[in-house]
Every structure is written in structure tokens, then in C-alpha cells.
Amino acid sequence: MAETRRILLVEDEKTIREAVVAYLEREGYWVTPAEDGEVALDQFAKHRFDVIVLDLMLPKVPGEVVCQRIREQSDVPIIMLTAKGAEEDRIAGLELGADDYLVKPFSPRELVARVRALLRRAHVEEEPQRDRLTYGPLEIDVSGHRAFLDGEELELTASEFKLLLTLARYPGRVYSRMELVEKVLGYDFEGYERTIDSHVKNLRAKLNDDPRDPTFIYTVHGVGYRFESPKGTEG
């Protein structure tokens, strides 16, 4: 099963901190909150993080100093949060070693999207090179954009095939609804995250996959979905 990405969130404003934690955890991330720079550096010394979301105006140790100290020993992606929107402030933050910059007030959804973008760039997963994926009675012809169940070709829409392939490439990995929306429907899709539920429902029907006792596609409540190879088989 894919490793859950860990995020260090450094923000002294409790309301903002709690809202961002809620959004990130809903997307399946493991979030460690820190209310000041001192706590942030202590947590960074104790744990490995995949992304750091760092406010600049912090008590005890300023965000600029936190960023510098982290950069002295790690290239972990850093997103800076600040109330300063002037161009020189953004440039200064990036020169300190930040990878991205978000000005307050910001949308938590935009922050989540930027976190995902940084993770994609920092943790580029090698796509399996196999042209066919086989999981028990299910066979996926990757280049041919076709799928077969018990030897019979499935009549899948383009979105259903892309959804199936996305999930099946990494059995055990949990995908949030928003991740699947981006991968299947595109980053610019303006509908609701729950739209992916309809595609999953249709795909399950064609796979004869009972959501109450699934063979392939499992619901991860509060997060999204994962694909599993049937017991006793290997992909």
C-alpha cells in the first residue's frame, strides 16, 4: 500500500490552522500542526515530512529563519503562507528556498491543489511499463485502452477506462476523490468531487463488483477509493 504523505503545517492562527488541517486530512494526508517556529523546528527534527506549509509571521522563531534552517539540511518542498503580497516579498520568500508562495487570505482548496502539485513534482512515480495488467479475471490492455473480464471485453467509456487504469496501476494506494477528478476528468473540471462517485458506480456495475463485498474497488470512507487485486492473485 502506498505511503501516506506527511505534511508539516506551521501556522499560528488557530482558525486558519484548523481549517487547513481539516482540508488536508480529508484528502488523505497525515498532518502535523505547529503553532510557532520553535515547535516547527522541533517536529522537523523528529520526523520526515513530504511537504511543509509555512507561515512567515510566526512567534518565537520567524518563518524566514525556519525556512533557512530547514533548507540547510533538506530539500523538502516548502509552501510559504504570508499576508505580504508585494512582489519583492514573494521574491524574497522564494530566494529563501520556498518552492511556492500563497498570499493570505487564500482558499484551502487552492492550498490543497498546490500541495498535490508539489508532491507530484517531488515524488514522481515511475509508471509501470507493463502493457497489460492482470488481476485474476480482470485484464487491462493499457495501450489498446481495453479491459476484459473473464475474457469478455468490457464496454467502458473513456472516463471509466481511465479511472480503472488509474486505480489498477497501484493496487492498495488510496486516491482521494479530488485526485481522481484531476486524473480522470482533468484539472480544469469545474464540477463536484462527488461526480467521481457516479463513474465508480458505473464501473463497478460493469465489473460485477458489489460495493458491499468488493472484489476490485474498495471505498475508503471519508477519503476516496483504492483498488485491490483479488485474493490469491497477483497483478
- Domains of the chain, start order: 6-122 (3.40.50.2300), 132-227 (1.10.10.10)
List, in order, residues 6 or more apart from 80 with CB less than 8 Å away: 54, 55, 56, 63, 67, 93, 96, 98, 100, 101, 102
What's the CA gap between 187 and 101, in Å, rounded? Answer: 20
What beta strand segments (E) does the chain contain? 6-10, 30-34, 51-55, 78-82, 100-103, 132-135, 138-141, 146-149, 152-153, 174-176, 217-220, 224-227
Letter string b/e over residues 132-143, b meaning 16 or more CB atoms within 10 A of that residue's CB? ebebbbbbbebe
Q: Of 9-23, 29-43, 79-93, 196-210, where does mean pLDDT reach its minimum?
A: 79-93
Q: Are 29 and 5 in contact (CB under 8 A)?
A: yes
List, in order, residues 6 or more apart from 36 with CB less than 8 Å away: 10, 12, 58, 59, 60, 61
Q: Are 60 and 38 in contact (CB under 8 A)?
A: yes
Q: Identify the band that residue 36 occupies on the pLDDT scale cut at 50, 70 and 90.
A: very high
- For residue 47, pLDDT beyond 70: yes
- For residue 189, pLDDT beyond 50: no
Q: Identify the band that residue 151 occupies on the pLDDT scale cut at 50, 70 and 90.
A: very high
What is the pTM assigned to this prediction? Answer: 0.54
57: which 3 cell numbers? Answer: 509571521
Per-residue model confidence (pLDDT) at position 128? 47
What's the CA gap between 68 and 78, in Å, rounded? Answer: 11
- For residue 233, pLDDT beyond 70: no
Per-residue model confidence (pLDDT) at position 125? 47
Q: Are 81 and 53 in contact (CB under 8 A)?
A: yes
Is the peptide bond between 105 and the residue preceding it cis, with omega within 30 degrees of 0?
A: yes
What's the CA gap between 108 and 116, in Å, rounded? Answer: 12
